[in-house]
Chains A and B, each alone.
Chain A
Amino acid sequence: MSTLFDQFSFWSAFWMTIKLTLGAAVGSLILGTIVAVLRLSPVPMLRFLGTSYVNIFRNTPLTLIILASNLVLWAKLGVVMANSKSPDFFNTNNFRLAVLGLTVYHASYVCEALRSGVNTIPLGQAEAARSIGLTFGQSLKEVILPQAFRGAVVPLGNTLIALTKNTTVAVTIGVAEMAAMLAKVTEDDPGLLNQAFVLTALAFVVLTLPVGLAVSWLGKRLAVKR
């Protein structure tokens, strides 16, 4: 077992998975909220933009998006997300492209989770907000979104769990996370494979199980009493 940790840097792969998850979680929460606001907007053009975003990215395979972030965005279009003179350029650039791809993909799910949260809010809340003179933006910020987030804790948690596991797709562009470690074990020391698979599975359970428990607890605690 020690070879797994020494030779195949299990812990640094685990840490990479956590970094991908956290980066994309923050990114997709922000981008997803923006897309949700577009979809809730009274302006038809903005609604169309929001709807198109969700329909495009929710219906595209994540592998395609991650590959495209590297092969199209960087290789063909020359989008660089790290200092190209840095000795660590490829690692940093690929990591950031992977976070970008994961963000863009999961933002569509965050948007839809938030919209399901909006559906838990009675229409009268928005009417009351408007009737005291709040603008559309103020109603969203003060009344609708705070209640939508509370009503969307459980679907948002599901998205976070899915995101955690989906970080393994980053192996396709050479990010050294858990799946990349498994690939390396397969090539270099297949005898360790059983162990490596079990430990990797365990590592993901360790990451996602607390999220599931926290979400159930928070979902109840934060629910808006009506």
Chain B
Amino acid sequence: MTQPTSDGRDPLVVVSGLNKHYGDLHVLKDINLTVGRGEVVVVLGPSGSGKSTLCRTINRLETFEDGSITIDGKPLPQEGKSLAELRADVGMVFQSFNLFAHKTILDNVTLGPIKVRKMDKKKAEELAQQLLQRVGVEKQANKYPAQLSGGQQQRVAIARSLAMQPKVMLFDEPTSALDPEMINEVLDVMSGLAKEGMTMIVVTHEMGFARRAADRVVFMADGEILEDATPEEFFNNPRTDRAKDFLSKILTH
């Protein structure tokens, strides 16, 4: 399990033999996936393919029946304090932003560093200001989430995750709830992170982002990983019929 990935990276997230059911529905079927340190993996697939579930399972927002997930060599704990500690190292960005609605933008970003990392309030606010500046919403620091546009909220959500200095960031369809003109401002921030060497697992429908920023593309359908390839290989030469069908439907217009 500690073997390096195919391109010689040190493995950071290792999913092996993962199975999950919702009642009778087998939503994740024997998933094996290794993500190396600094690698950007984009997960593509039709709706209901299990890609969001996989993303949420890696953070254990979803339980699973068998298989294992390790993050930086540590297996994912069942529950309690050790799980909370591990989650602090795994950033998560949601489709619906999920900023804390009763807290200001600044407080959204400082909450984790202060409560989990026990950072001094002043230091946490400095860090938060830096991060808000980095994602371009420093002027909104004292507003509440409902006063911001969707694109701004999602960039704040990214800053909130970054404030924890995570080892890996999970993005669960981060642009799917956004108006079209706001998608790029979020993707630009994500591309910036990818360039800086952040390890990222991104579930998305943005093919342009997958081509530009991904080191690897993973294609899922019906709870299975069907393809795992570089973006060029996947987009130019998909091996499975399911992937060909998927690409023909989304790339023709």
Task: Tell me whether A and B are bound partners.
Answer: yes
Q: Which residues of A contact B (CB under 8 A)?
A: 42, 122, 124-125, 127-135, 138, 142-143, 146-147, 150, 224-226
In the bound assembly, the distance between CA atoms of A124 and B87 in angstroms comes to 15
A127 in complex: contacting residue of B61, B160, B164, CB < 8 Å: B61
Evaluate contact between B61 and A131: CB separation under 8 angstroms: yes
Evaluate contact between B102 and A127: CB separation under 8 angstroms: no
- Can you offer 15 A-B residue contacts whose CB atoms are under 8 A? A124-B94, A124-B96, A128-B100, A128-B157, A130-B61, A130-B84, A132-B87, A132-B116, A132-B160, A132-B164, A133-B84, A133-B87, A133-B116, A134-B112, A138-B116
Of all A-B residue pairs in the complex, the 5 with the closest CB atoms, nearest first, are: A133-B88, A225-B146, A128-B98, A124-B98, A132-B112
Closest CB-CB distance, B118 to chain A, in whole Å?
Answer: 11
Evaluate contact between A128 and B94: CB separation under 8 angstroms: yes
Chain B residue nearest to A135 (CB atoms) is B84
Q: Which residues of B contact A133 (CB under 8 A)?
A: 84-89, 112, 116, 164
Query: With A133-B85, A133-B164 in contact, do A128 and B101 touch (Cβ < 8 Å)?
Result: no
Chain B residue nearest to A141 (CB atoms) is B115
Among B80, B85, B99, B100, the most chain A Cβ lie within 10 Å of the Cβ of B100
In the bound assembly, the distance between CA atoms of A132 and B166 in angstroms comes to 9
Consensus secondary structure, chain A interface:
helix
In the bound assembly, the distance between CA atoms of A128 and B59 in angstroms comes to 11
Known: A124-B96, A133-B86. 8 other contacts (CB 8 A): A127-B61, A128-B94, A128-B98, A132-B112, A133-B84, A134-B116, A135-B81, A146-B102
Q: Which residues of B contact A (CB under 8 A)?
A: 59, 61, 79-81, 84-92, 94, 96-102, 111-112, 115-116, 144, 146-147, 157, 160-161, 164
B94 in complex: contacting residue of A127, A134, A226, CB < 8 Å: A127
Q: Which residues of B contact A134 (CB under 8 A)?
A: 84, 111-112, 115-116
Query: With A42-B79, A138-B115, A225-B144 in contact, do A131 and B102 touch (Cβ < 8 Å)?
Result: no
Evaluate contact between B111 and A226: CB separation under 8 angstroms: no
In the bound assembly, the distance between CA atoms of A130 and B63 in angstroms comes to 14
Q: Which residues of A contact B157 (CB under 8 A)?
A: 128
Closest CB-CB distance, A216 to chain B, in whole Å?
Answer: 20
Q: Which residues of B contact A150 (CB under 8 A)?
A: 102
Q: Which residues of A contact B100 (CB under 8 A)?
A: 125, 128-129, 142-143
Chain A residue nearest to B99 (CB atoms) is A128
In the bound assembly, the distance between CA atoms of A178 and B173 in angstroms comes to 62
In the bound assembly, the distance between CA atoms of A133 and B114 in angstroms comes to 11
Evaluate contact between A132 and B111: CB separation under 8 angstroms: yes
In the bound assembly, the distance between CA atoms of A224 and B147 in angstroms comes to 12
Evaluate contact between A147 and B102: CB separation under 8 angstroms: yes
Evaluate contact between A226 and B146: CB separation under 8 angstroms: yes
Chain B residue nearest to A131 (CB atoms) is B92
Chain A residue nearest to B95 (CB atoms) is A124
Q: Which residues of A contact B92 (CB under 8 A)?
A: 127-128, 131
In the bound assembly, the distance between CA atoms of A31 and B84 in angstroms comes to 28
Q: Which residues of A contact B85 (CB under 8 A)?
A: 133
Q: Which residues of B contact A138 (CB under 8 A)?
A: 115-116
Query: With A134-B84, A135-B84 in contact, do A142 and B111 touch (Cβ < 8 Å)?
Result: yes
Q: Which residues of B contact A142 (CB under 8 A)?
A: 100, 111, 115
In the bound assembly, the distance between CA atoms of A143 and B147 in angstroms comes to 19
Q: Which residues of B contact A122 (CB under 8 A)?
A: 96, 98
Chain A residue nearest to B56 (CB atoms) is A127
Q: Which residues of A contact B146 (CB under 8 A)?
A: 225-226
Chain B residue nearest to A126 (CB atoms) is B98
Query: With A142-B111, A225-B146 in contact, do A132 and B98 touch (Cβ < 8 Å)?
Result: no
In the bound assembly, the distance between CA atoms of A219 and B113 in angstroms comes to 31
Among B84, B87, B147, B164, the most chain A Cβ lie within 10 Å of the Cβ of B84
